[in-house]
Structure formats: structure tokens, C-alpha cells
Structure 1
Amino acid sequence: MKAKMIRLTALFVLLSSVCSVKAQEKMNVLKLKSPKDLHDLFRYTGNDIILISGHRGGMVPGFPENSIATFENTLRHTPAFFEIDPRLTKDSVIVLLHDATLDRTTTGKGKLSDYTFEELNQFRLKDAEGNVTKYSIPTLTETIDWARGKTVLNLDHKDVPLQMTADLLRKHNADAFMMLTVHSSSEAKFYLADNKDRMFSAFIRNKKEFEDYENSGIPFSQLIAYIGPLVKPENLELYRLLHKKGTMCMISSASSYDKLKDPEERKGAYVSIAKDGASILETDMPIEAAEAIRDFQKAGKSKQKFFGRK
């Protein structure tokens, strides 16, 4: 009887372990079917879930930045959207790479633009610690195909012409889950002339930049506002102005608090961002940041329909 109980206990532990692994394999997803859904998800209501933006996807050992594998790893732990970096190869294929050169993040050397996409396939991506991984440089097209029904991609503006980006989004009918980082209201106006439903991540770091967007006529309902990398008293005026427009504010800790060496200090910094009033926390460490602010996330009922797991 005792031996049988031991076997049953061992079987239970094994099954529990398998179930746990299966649960971990599931991803948190954002369920968006139209540009209106996208606008509604990012509309400030005052009772919103604090959203995590994975800067370049996130930086975890074994997982390189700007990689689909990294995006998936992040989504296994938390709902998130991703800021990514499209660049052009020598033969005009749009791929994901932050730097203009290959050296830091891949096994290649020199300028990305000196290589065709086929030539780039010989290289492998490195993680943040410089370890070579099995992953290769992805195209923006395959990333868009992967992201559909799972998350939102925020395209930074590197060396890809605006028209080429606009054409690609139209070709793939991707405006329900794509956001465009714009560094000026004129860039936003270009994209809106191409498609009135586009969504933006706009640099609005002070009252002057706020007034520029206000005077441009760009709908505040179709943008989030990057207000800077720090918690500071000047943020309060921006929160007041932008929240009145229904616009979420984003603080990015990628260049600031993510650099802190002590995990407890980083946790305190992420909590301070949540307390400050930001609706979006962009970070190189999305899994860690999401865990830190879990107690501060409010589940607004109007937004729950956009969150799921699969």
C-alpha cells in the first residue's frame, strides 16, 4: 500500500509539472480586430490596466532584442506590446535591428545596409550579454504575420522611408495592431494622409510639444504620449493636459531606471512610475517590471475584452 501511494504521489507530481509547463507555454495576447479596438485599448479612462511596452522586445539571457522568440517569451509572462526597430538591407528588405551596424547584436560585422537579406541569414543574434543564440534577424513582414491576433507592434523610425512603411502596413492590412513612433507632428500628418486610422507613439515631453500636436489637428484619441524617461514634478502638467484629451502617457525606463544594478532599486523605480500616473511603462525588462507593478494594475472592465491567453 505504501509503495502504491509513493507511485501515485510521484505520478501526481509529474502531471502537475507537465501542466505547469503547458500553462507556461500559453501566451498573454491582445485581441484586436480593428483600428477602433486599437484606439480604444490605448484610450485613457482613469481606470486602466497599466500597459507594459517591451523595449525592443525585452532583454533576458538567451533571448536577443528585436526577435520573435523574445516577444513570445515576454508574452508567456505578461500582456505587452513591443517597440521594434525596422531597418533596410542592401536589397531593400525591411528587417528588425536597432543599430545601423551588426557588431553589437549579431555575429556579423559592419553596416547592415551593406548586406542583402540572404547574406544576413548567415549571422546569428546575440543576447544582451553578448551570448550567441540560435536566432537569425527577422523581417518586418514575418514579424507582422506573427503579431496578428497576439500583440501590438510599435515601429520606431530608423532608415525606412515613411512611404515604404505606410505601403507595407496597407499591404498586410495591419493597422488594427500597429503603432508608429513619430518624432514630430509632420510625420504623423503624413501617415494620416495615407490612412486616417493610424495610431501613433508621439514625443510629447513638454507643453510646447503638446501645443504643437494640439495645433496640428492630429486626433489625441489616436496617440500615446512618450513624456520622457524619468519621474519628475514636470510630469504632472503633462498628465493633466493629456489625460483631459483621453491620451495615455508613457515613461520609458530603458535609458534610466533599467540601468540600476540592484533589482530592489529597479523594482522601486517601476513602482514609482506606476504611482506617478503613467499608463504605460516601457522597459528593457518587461517581465521584471510587470511583476513589480502587479499590485498597482487596475483591471478596468471596459478593457478586459482585449486581454486573453492562448
Structure 2
Amino acid sequence: MKNKFLNPFVLAALLAMGNHISSHAQNKLNVLKIKTAKDLHAYFQFTGNDPILITGHRGGMVKGFPENSIATFENTLKHTPAFFEIDPRLTKDSVMVLMHDATLDRTTTGTGKLSDYTYEELKKFRLKDAEGNVTDFPIPTLSEVIEWARGKTVLNLDHKDVPLAMTAALIRKHKADAFVMLTVHSAAEMTYYLSQNKNHTFSAFVRNMKEYADYEKAGVPFNQMIAYIGPHVKPENKELYALLNKKGTMCMISAASSYDKLKTPEERKAAYLAIAKDGASILESDLPIEAAEAVKEYAQKESPKQRFFGKR
């Protein structure tokens, strides 16, 4: 009678193979297949049939993974497609590095002002996660992050202390206008960047009707921007949704300073769903993995936009 059971060595080999395949699948990144500035404009174009998009505020804040870190960006992309809001600042010797605060104390093993250190001096410090745990990750330069992001995701550069001209020049140097966008706090900033490159894409502060009127008066291309309308779901949003969506502009609500602070996952999930139901096209969060899971029924919506999502 033939043995109906697998040879233990064969079984062990099959299990190992299965674990390897599973591990390989988990290590794949969710990527955005955006190759040109025109693709980027199309990705952010409001059509009325769009999946809600997730953006990681400073990349995300998960235990063991510090904000504004390549390791954190990669960890987020293992779980969900996303783009990332990040914070370039200048060192003493004018190297652009990622750091939200003007000082090192909260997020690194260093102390004092970032601008008091050269980039070479910063190399000795390591980043801390949101709980203050020291990691092995160094402070990255913006150039390093741009080259890492190429073919994977989109970077949204906030405006801290880097002059607009330097930021525009770095994007031009890296030929990165297909996947690097710019946060602008006013129509004047947007107009300046457009004078440097008419193909730039923007995340613009449009939190009320006055700010909307400023952009409209400036004659900026609304089809090359998303609109940050604030951190809360509120009745006043409806007017902004209507005006901006009509121009093809997606609207973003950021939960980073509001709903991400709720105490329980259940409370946060309800808030993230409320953002999606309210009509926002983009959800920004310090917890992008959790937020993406909460709104996955909206994120996985059948849409022509799905052509921009892939794995690698």
C-alpha cells in the first residue's frame, strides 16, 4: 500500500517555499505608475468616479519607523498605495534634508537647531520614532528621497525654510516634475513656481472662499492642483467641494492634527469614513496604513484611475 503522507523532508521544503513566496508578496511595494507630469495631473484630476487617495503625513508614524524617513515610506507602501507629504529644510551648508521641526531634539538623537549643523555633522545622528525610540535610520537628504521615489510614489514638498528658487532648481536638476509636487500656501507662491516650470503640480491651501477667490483671480491652472481644505468635516466644506470639483480639482482633508488624535481605532475609523463620505477625494493621515484600511471600500472603487496602481 502506497504511503498517503508526504515525506517529511518534502513537506518541510514545500512549507519553506510557501513561506518564501508569502514573504516575497508581503515585501512588494504598492507603487504609482506615473511617468510624466501629464500623468500626474491626470492622477489628481477630479472626475466624479475616483477612488479616495491616501497620503502619508510626513510618511506616517508607526512604531519603529520615524517620520520623514525612507524606511517609513517603504513600510507604508508595503500596505497601501500612497503619496507622501514631506518637509525639506536647510542645513548650515545649504543641503536640503528632511526634518519637520527647526530643531533636532524631538525626532533625532541630536539637539539644537538643524541650521547650526552641516550635513556631514548630521550624519552622526539617528532618527527617533513617534514614541521617542531611537532607530538605526539616518536623516535623509531630499535628493536621496527624490531618487528613491522615482517610479514608486509621489512626493509633496511642504514649504519650510527652503527658498522657492532652490526647491524649483532641485526638482529641475532631478527632472522630477512627474512625481514631485509642491505645497503652496498662497496663489503668489504657485504663480512663482509656474514661472519656473509650467508643468508643476501643487497642493494648495484653499481653506475658505477668500483663499479660493485669490487662486481664481491669479488665473492659476486648477487642473494642476489638489486643494487642502482643512482638518475637519464641516458644513462649509460643501461649497468648496462644489466649486473646486467643478474645476477638476480634488479636495484633501488632513486628519493629522484632528482625527488621528482620537484614542481608539474604532473612533478613528469612524472619522476616516466620515471624511470619505463627506466628499473629500484625498485623506491625509499620520496613520496612512490604518486610514487606508478604514476606507478601503472607497479606495478600491472601480475607476479608470486604477491604471495608476501597481506592485513591484
TM-score (norm 1): 0.97
Partner of 1:186: 188
Partner of 1:286: 288
Partner of 2:38: 36
2:81 to 79, 82, 86: 79
**How far 1:304 moved relative to its partner?**
2.1
Query: Which whole-Å CA distance do the structure 1 matches of 2:91 and 2:167 have between them?
Result: 14
Q: Which amino acid aligns with 2:287?
A: M
CA RMSD of aligned residues (A): 1.2
Counterparts of 1:84-163 in structure 2, within 5 Å, are 84-163=86-165
Query: Which whole-Å CA distance do the structure 1 matches of 2:263 and 2:101 have between them?
Result: 24
**How far 1:266 moved relative to its partner?**
0.5
**How far 1:186 moved relative to its partner?**
0.2
Partner of 1:212: 214
What is the DSSP-based 3-state SS (H/G/I as helix, E as strand, rest coil) of the residue aligned with 2:67?
coil
**How far 1:67 moved relative to its partner?**
0.3
Query: Which whole-Å CA distance do the structure 1 matches of 2:6 and 2:300 have between them?
Result: 47
Q: Which amino acid aligns with 1:73?
A: N
Query: Which whole-Å CA distance do the structure 2 matches of 1:295 and 1:10 have between them?
Result: 38
Query: Which whole-Å CA distance do the structure 2 matches of 1:118 and 1:251 have between them?
Result: 37
Partner of 1:295: 297
Aligned length: 310
1:80-125 C-alpha deviation (Å, 9 max, x unpaired): 0000000000000000000000000000000000000000000000
Are the equivalent residues in 1 in contact too, given 2:51–2:303 (CA < 8 A)?
A: no
2:172 to 170, 173, 178: 170
Are the equivalent residues in 2 in contact too, given 1:47–1:298 (CA < 8 A)?
A: no
Structure 2: which 5+ runs fail to align? none
Structure 1: which 5+ runs fail to align? none
Partner of 2:59: 57
What is the DSSP-based 3-state SS (H/G/I as helix, E as strand, rest coil) of the residue aligned with 2:284?
strand
Structure-2 change in CA distance of 1:297 and 1:217 (3 Å): same
1:26-58 C-alpha deviation (Å, 9 max, x unpaired): 001111111100000000001111110000000
Partner of 2:279: 277
What is the DSSP-based 3-state SS (H/G/I as helix, E as strand, rest coil) of the residue aligned with 1:4?
coil
**How far 1:8 moved relative to its partner?**
4.6
Query: Which whole-Å CA distance do the structure 1 matches of 2:194 and 2:296 have between them?
Result: 35
Query: Which whole-Å CA distance do the structure 1 matches of 2:300 and 2:134 have between them?
Result: 39
Query: Which whole-Å CA distance do the structure 1 matches of 2:274 and 2:7 have between them?
Result: 50
Q: Which amino acid aligns with 1:90?
A: K
1:224 to 214, 223, 226: 226
**How far 1:183 moved relative to its partner?**
0.4
Q: Which amino acid aligns with 1:297?
A: A
Are the equivalent residues in 2 in contact too, given 1:257–1:269 (CA < 8 A)?
A: yes
Identity %: 70
Are the equivalent residues in 2 in contact too, given 1:89–1:116 (CA < 8 A)?
A: yes
Query: Which whole-Å CA distance do the structure 2 matches of 1:6 and 1:247 have between them?
Result: 60
Query: Which whole-Å CA distance do the structure 2 matches of 1:56 and 1:292 have between them?
Result: 19
